[in-house]
Amino acid sequence: MSRCTLDSGKYEVAIGWDNPLQTFFLQVFERGAATPLIEEGTTHNACIDPAELVALAEQYGCSFDKDRLINELKLDQLHNRARGYSMAGSEVKPIIGREELCPHCKSELNPGATTCHMCGAYKVYLKGSVLAPMIFLGIFVVTIAILFDSPAMLLLLLLIFAVYAGIKKRHTEYQGWAPRSSEQ
């Protein structure tokens, strides 16, 4: 669910996209009130066009860019964004948590997401998946090199550590996100 808060001083208006109900919604509150004066979009498919709710929000003295808000709401619907934000004029400010961006395509990620809905990048955890086998292989190669006094094994050890360093560098570069399989 997305929720944009608009403020006019006397009223606070909440407008957004509710994915489970597949509808845009609007709530108008008097300043400091817990229950809304007006609630629209409370049933399944109640409002499929945000323009009528944006026009209703304008009637309560809120200052915002109408076209920008309609576009933001349509993007919320398209990408099923779970976010809270406020809007004054044409400026959009996040108000719930921090918004994380995919390091590959720079689209907004839903909170706690492990896969980007736009490019398919996915979160990779290196702890057990790469680190443990690399350490085991390194210890094995060192043991063989010591037992057989082989310089070739030491070169192999250097190669293993170079590969690990490359993997770790790329992991850090992309903040733990790997591109989808087709891009690797």
- Check the CA dihedral 123-121-79-102 and report its sign: positive
Helix-then-strand count for the chain, H and E: 5, 10
Helix axes 132-148, 151-173, angle to 10 degrees: 160
Give the integer Cα–Cα distance in Å for 42 and 105: 34
pTM: 0.52
Please tell me what DSSP assigns to residue 100: E
Tens-binned pLDDT, residue by residue, of the chain (184 aa): 788 888 888 898 999 999 888 999 999 998 878 888 999 998 999 999 999 999 999 998 888 889 999 998 998 888 877 777 777 777 777 665 545 667 766 666 665 556 776 677 766 655 555 566 667 777 777 777 777 777 777 777 777 777 777 776 766 666 666 666 554 4
Domain spans, the chain: 2-98, 122-183
